[in-house]
Amino acid sequence: MSDTPQGPSVKHLGQQSALPASPEEAVLDYVPNPRKGSLYLVRFAAPEFTSLCPVTGQPDFAHLVIDYAPGETIVESKSLKLFLGAFRNHNGFHEDVTVGIGQRLFEEMQPQWLRIGGYWYPRGGIPIDVFWQSGLPPEGLWLPDQGVGSYRGRG
């Protein structure tokens, strides 16, 4: 792929892109950090995330919150949306899905720090929340609460 004004190897930005068949086939695009050298937090919230139960094949729903402190690059949001959408037909336990998303982003993007909160809706009557972070956050990084309360039912 050729360089674009947004950075090298951008596949999705400004292009028509189909939903990947699987998370493994999804290509995440990264662009240069426009504020390189600045310590700041980027947050993505996916309140309608879906994957499939690996045992029953039934859909599982979660509210994902991804926070990271950029390093050299930032993840391009359209490619992230397509990556997350690829989980609609992916079988995985909550723990594997949540931690796998965080680890892939951290390994590929190499931010200063990353955390993910997976706030899963009940399966079998039990909500499961899964959290992962790459290590201690950088000193001085403002870390707002992820803003998703524990599951409380309908009222």
Asked whether 4 and 82 are in contact (CB, 8 A), the reply is no
Beta bridge partners of 67: 43, 115
pLDDT exceeds cutoff 50 at 119: yes
CA dist., res. 84 & res. 20, Å (int):
9
Listing DSSP states for 5-23 in one string gives: TTBTT--STTS--PPPSST
Q: In a 3-state reduction of DSSP, which class is residue 86?
A: helix
Q: In a 3-state reduction of DSSP, which class is residue 43?
A: strand
pLDDT tens profile 135-153: 999 999 999 999 998 888 7
Domain locations in the chain as residue ranges: 30-133
Strand runs (DSSP E) across 14-97, as ranges?
Answer: 30-32, 42-52, 59-69, 73-75
pLDDT tens profile 28-86: 999 999 999 999 999 999 999 999 999 999 999 999 999 999 999 999 999 999 999 99
pTM of the shown model: 0.90
15 versus 94: the higher-pLDDT residue is 94
Please give the share of the chain, as a percent, with pLDDT higher than 90: 82
Q: Mind telling me the catalytic residues?
A: 53, 60
Amino acid (1-letter code) at residue 54: P
Q: What is the CATH topology of the domain spanning 30-133?
A: GTP Cyclohydrolase I, domain 2 (3.30.1130)
**Mean pLDDT score of the chain:** 91
